Structure 1
Amino acid sequence: MADIGDVNFLDSANSAGNTGSVNDADDASDVSSADEASKANSASDTDTAPKLYIVVGADNLAELHKWRDFSELQKLAEFVVLTRPGYEIPRQWAALRRIEIAVDASSSGFRRDFKGEIPPKIAAEVIKFYKRKDMQDPKQRAERIAEILNEKKAEDVQIIDMSEREYIAKLVVIATTLTSRHAASLIEELKSVLKPLGEEFLAIESGDEWSVVDLGDIIVHLISEAYRAKYNIEDFLDKLKKEQF
C-alpha cells in the first residue's frame, strides 16, 4: 500500500506538473495571440493614419538640405516637389513625387501685381511679422539697446555674450544709471522704441539701485554706480564663461 501510495503521489505530482506545463503553454499561446492582435491593430492604425506631405517649389530644392532639422522632417513627412517653368529638378531629388503645373506663378509675382486692398488687420500683422523678422538676430538687438542707453546718458554700457555657455540668456547688457528716475526713463525709452519693432518685454523688475529687463534671450541690467562696483556682474559673467565643465 505504501508503494502504491508513493506511486500514486508521484503520478499526481507529475500530473500536476504536466497540467502546469499545459497551462503555461496555453498562457504563452494567449500572449502570442495577444501580441499578434496588437501588431495587427498597430499596422491597421498605421495604414489608416493620415500622411503628412510638404510641398516645395522646384526653385527651393537647391536649399532644401539646409532646412532646420531636415533629416527629422524626412522621417515625419513626404516631400513633394511643385515644378516651375525654368527650374530643373536636381538629380538628388529626382525620386520625389511631383506636381506638374504649367502656370508661371510665384508669391513675389503676386505681391508685385496685386491690385486689391489688403485688409488693415492683415496688413498690420504682416508688417509686424517682418519687423520682428528684422529683430531676430540677438547681437543686432543688443547693439540697438546699447545705442538707446548711450543716447539717454547711461554710462559704461557693455554687452556680454553668453551664447556659448549655459545661461538664462544669450546676451547681457549692463549699464550704469545716475538715479532711480534715470533708470525708469531708460526703461520707458526702451519700451517706446523696441515694442513697435516687435520686441517682447517678458518681465521688468524695478528698484532704486538695480532694475532688470527680461527680453527672453537678452537681459538688461540697469544698475547704480555703487551697486555695480559692489556686485561686479561683469566679473561674475566672465568667470562663468571661462569655467570648464
Structure 2
Amino acid sequence: MAVTDQAIDRIKEMIVHGALHPGTRLPPEAELAEQLGLSRSSLREAVRALTAMRILVTKQGDGTYVSGLEPHLLLEAMTFAADVSHGHSARQLLQVRRLLEPQAVALAAGKLTDPQLRALRSILDRCTDEISIEEFIELDIEFHRTIADSVGNPVLSTLLGILSTHTQRVRIVRGTVPPPPDGHLASAVSGGTARQQAHREHEAIWRALVARDAGLAAGAAAVHVAAVEDWLADRLPIDTAAPEPTTA
C-alpha cells in the first residue's frame, strides 16, 4: 500500500474510532504527522485526498477540520463517476435507479403538498414549450428532484441525483451513438422522440401523484426508468452489453 494511502486510512481510523469527531480541528501538521508516524508531505497528500472526499474541510487561515460527515455530502463525490459512465456502466447505474426511484415516488405520493404538485404541473407545462435539449434536461432534473426531495431523506435525494446526472441525461436524450455521416436528421429525430416519450411518462407519474396512488405512481416511475434503460441497451455495442443471466 502506498504511503499516502496508509495516511488516508490512519486518519479515517481516527474518525471512525472517535479520536476525531465531526467538526473537530485537526492537530497541527507536525504534531499529527509525528502522531501517525508519517512524513509531513505524505500527510499533506492524505489531507488533500480526504478534502476531495468531503471527509475533511479546509478553512482558509483557520486550519483543517473534520467535516460534518453528512452521508448525502459524502456521496456527492460519486457524481464524477456517474458523469463519465458510458455503455454498460451507464446501464448499471440506471438499473440501480430503477430499484430506488419507484419506491421514492411511492413515498412521495403521500407527502407531496398541493403547492409541490402545482410546481410539478408547471414544470411539465414548460416542457411543452419550444426549448433546447439543455433546458428540457434542466426541467427533467427539477421534476425528479422535487419528487425525491418531498420524501425528506437527503441521502435518497442525493443518490437518485447521482444515478442520473445532468451529463448522463444529455447524452441519452441526444443519442449515445454518433449521428450518421449523411447528416444530423436521425440524431434530431432521436432526441425529439426521447423527449416526447419522457414527457408522456412524466405526465403518467404526475397523474398518479395527484391521485395519491402510491402503487400507480411507483409503476409509472418504474416504466419511465425502464424505458430509458431499454433505450440505452438497444444502442450498446454487442460486446459491451450486459451478459445474459445464468440459471441455477
Question: Which has the larger share of helix?
Answer: 2
* Range class of TM-score, shorter chain: under 0.3
Structure having the higher Rg:
1
Name the structure where strand makes up a greater proportion of residues.
1
TM-score (norm 1): 0.23
